[in-house]
Amino acid sequence: MRHVVIHVNEAKPRLTILWDNDARDSMSTMPFDGLDRAMSFIAGLVHGFRVEGHDVDVLSVSVLNPGDDHRDWVIDWDSDNPNARVIALT
């Protein structure tokens, strides 16, 4: 299973994407003109993974320390105030 973690900064639309939560070795950030465009990008990723033949689940989670290095991110899988999405691929 692979987990793609996407932190959403709503104040200044930017996605921080941790491409593999297990390896923690691949991260990128992308700015967007608005939150709706950022969410469309996430939807496009999900669609692309499904087209590639993956089973995809999308979970709402909270990254508790998004300002820290991505290798040290702590994820609350049962958050009442999510600020991130996890795309789980199987």
**Inter-CA distances, 18 with 44, 45, 83, Å:** 16, 13, 14
27-77 pLDDT per residue, tens: 777 788 877 888 888 899 899 989 999 999 998 999 898 888 777 889 999
pLDDT band at 24 (very low <50, low <70, confident <90, very high): low
Global pTM value: 0.73
Q: For the chain, which residues make up each domain, given as ranges?
A: 2-89
Structure tokens belonging to residue 31:
């700015």
The pLDDT of residue 34 is: 79
Whether residue 80 has pLDDT greater than 90: yes
**Inter-CA distances, 63 with 16, 49, 51, 52, Å:** 11, 23, 28, 27
Structure tokens belonging to residue 71:
């290798």
53: left (phi over 0), alpha (psi -120 to 50) or beta: left
